[in-house]
Structure 1
Amino acid sequence: MTSSNDGRELPFGLVVNPRSALGRGKRVAVRVARELEAAGIPIELISGEDANACAAAVAEASRAGLRGLILVGGDGLLGLVLQIAAARALPLGIVPAGSGNDFARNFGVPRGHREAVARILANERAPHAVDLGVVRFPDPGAPGGFSERWFAGGLSIGFDAAINRRANAIRLPIGGFRYQLGLVAEIVALAARPFRVRTGTREREFDGLLTSVMNIRTLGGGIPIAPEARTDDGMLDLIEVTACSRPRLVSVLGVLARGRHAGLPEVTFETVSSARIDAPGEIAYADGERVGEGPFEVRAAPAAIRLMA
């Protein structure tokens, strides 16, 4: 257990975005708080009226002193917390309560709040070192004209990013089904995009459907786009899918949904420590949240966080 200078036991910061999954995060957080309090573990509830207020509260509490952060939500809440350096320095635990929960799924975190809390407490003394990704992109409003965003799951550009945009616009309590609806809509509106991708070993220009840089195996609530990805190798998995017809795309997606797309001629895999991706006019999404327009400079950040999972 971690103590403050005056000998008092530090609390866990219990982070919840009350709007996560249309309010599910708030409901689950109440149960998690009761579970921890019943075990005699001090907590500090950290929240806010919106994402910006929640991020400000996380930053303030992290700097003030906590034994760790327990996030009650999904990939979006994790992405919010990862932008805060003081929060990344603390051990992190996750109680899945979002729509997709791909990062928690990658580590087999149980959906039940009791089981998830038990997993966190069991791993508090020996958390796992976990890699992250970082993307740098143009931002006229930022110092130097660039911003950085940290991501835990993956960076999506093209077809999968467009699905994210459509899914985020659906304000119904249907969980990962939002992604499936966005997928159908994007198939109907199918369009190829020009990409230029440069890594340490090659530079390639192609008309394609997507370029994704993954730290974990799945996106969109369980689609195994990077079935060989690892979070402890200091690398990222780059996936490219070249353009194809609409009927062929349906076939490709069916194979991709089973994680068996490595042999398809439209699909290219590469393990990279960094990459530059140019995709004119395309908006990238990281962990399901909007990033901005490129060009994108992506790099791996080895052992960037300690995960209690």
Structure 2
Amino acid sequence: MRDDAPFGVVVNPRSAFGRGARVAGRVLAEFAAAGVPAIEISGADAADCQAKVRAACRNGLRGLVLVGGDGLIGLVLQVAEARALPIGVVPAGSGNDFARQFALAHSPEAAVLRVLAAEAAPLAVDLGVVERPGAAEHWFAGGLSIGLDAAINRRANAIRLPLGPFRYHLALIVEILTLKHRRFSVRIGSSDRSFTGVLATVMNTRAIGGGIRLAPGASVHDGKLDLVEVTYGTKLRLLSVLGLLARARHEHLPEVTITRAERIRIDAGDEVAYSDGERVGTGPFEVRVAPGALRFLA
């Protein structure tokens, strides 16, 4: 790519109730101050944003900088032309779980400096890929939520108040009060099993839902995904399990299984999955890791 090619600064103007747009202006100013060309890319909705990202990539960019949260990352990852470029992130969303994996700076000044410093040697970061019958491949950076955590995500998205990660905490309380069990069928390699539980979630990063470390040992550099399963019990016992889970003290509980694998199949009936904060749809889900698929500017 030409040295004079610009960075594309992708922004969700509605991210964190307008914070994304404000931060993007400062990011563009920092690039200008560093003498590095940059253009803003935004859209009226998700499809429009993806179309504009695709067009800008084809016109020639040296990389992308995403100003927003996990939802914006998931949106851009569906664009093949974007995945071919190095990508940086300036966290400006509600959850920012992917950014948390790398302890990314929220300051636009520090974030732009880090992006520019990493341009010569981007990190090779794993991504997840979901295949479903009759649907296009879906790429994710953080995790694929199926069960309780997906329900929390759906409820949090419906809360239209500027509460940041507290939206997820509020949604968690409501979902626990109406807790239901689900039936999951899982295949890893030649091993099949079924269980009744509350979630079967595939993690690439450690945290989900605004900092809940569902997979405390997950790495984005090991070529593996972490499947976290929580089986069902009495409501009182599950409250204890979920309390320990929220504090990342759940790994050795008998109700919790964490399995590391390259490919996982999950069937959860009509349960709707979410990834990177956004709706994916119903399964069955064939989930695989794409080792080092993202050149990450961090």
TM-score w.r.t. the length of structure 1 is: 0.95
Q: Does 1:192 align with 2:187?
A: no
1:173 to 154, 157, 162: 162
- Listed as ranges, the matches of 1:281-296 within 5 Å are 281-296=270-285
Query: Does the residue aligned with 1:21 lie in a helix, a strand or coil?
Result: coil
Q: Does the CA contact (< 8 Å) of 1:10 and 1:66 recur in 2?
A: yes
- Cα distance in 1 between the residues matched to 2:193 and 2:11: 42
Cα offsets for 1:14-37 (capped at 9, x unmatched): 100111122111010011111111
Unpaired segments of 5 or more residues in structure 1?
Answer: 139-144
Q: Of 110, 117, 124, which residue of structure 2 is paired with 1:122? A: 117
Would you say 1:204 and 2:193 are equivalent positions?
yes
Corresponding residue number in structure 1 for 2:87: 92
CA distance in 2, matches of 1:224, 1:171: 25
Q: Percent identity?
A: 63
CA contact (8 A) 1:130 1:307 kept: yes
Q: Taking structure 2 as the reference length, what is the TM-score of the superposition?
A: 0.98
- Quote how far apart the aligned CAs of 1:50 are: 1.3
5+ unaligned residues in a row in structure 2: which ranges?
A: none
Range moving further from structure 2, 254-263 or 151-160: 254-263
Q: CA RMSD in A?
A: 1.0
Which residue number corresponds to residue 303 of structure 1? 292
How far did residue 110 of structure 1 move? Answer: 1.1
CA contact (8 A) 1:158 1:211 kept: yes
1:201, distance to aligned residue in structure 2 (A): 4.9
> Equivalences for 1:242-261 in 2 at 5 Å?
242-261=231-250
How many pairs are equivalent? 298
Equivalent residues of 1:19, 1:50 under 8 A apart = no
Moved over 3 A (4+): none
Which residue in 2 is equivalent to 1:73? 68
The alignment status of 1:32 with 2:21, answered yes or no, reads no
1:264-306, CA deviations, whole angstroms, 9 ceiling, x for partnerless residues? 0000011011111010110000111000001111000111110
For the Cα contact (< 8 Å) 2:28–2:39, is it kept in 1?
no
Residue number among 181, 204, 229 corresponding to 1:215 in the alignment: 204
Query: Once the 2 structures are TM-superposed, how far is the Cα of residue 147 of structure 1 from its aligned partner?
Result: 2.2
For the residue of structure 1 that corresponds to 2:168, the secondary structure is helix
Q: Distance in 1 between matches of 2:50 and 2:216?
A: 32
Tell me whether 1:269 sits opposite 2:233 in the alignment: no
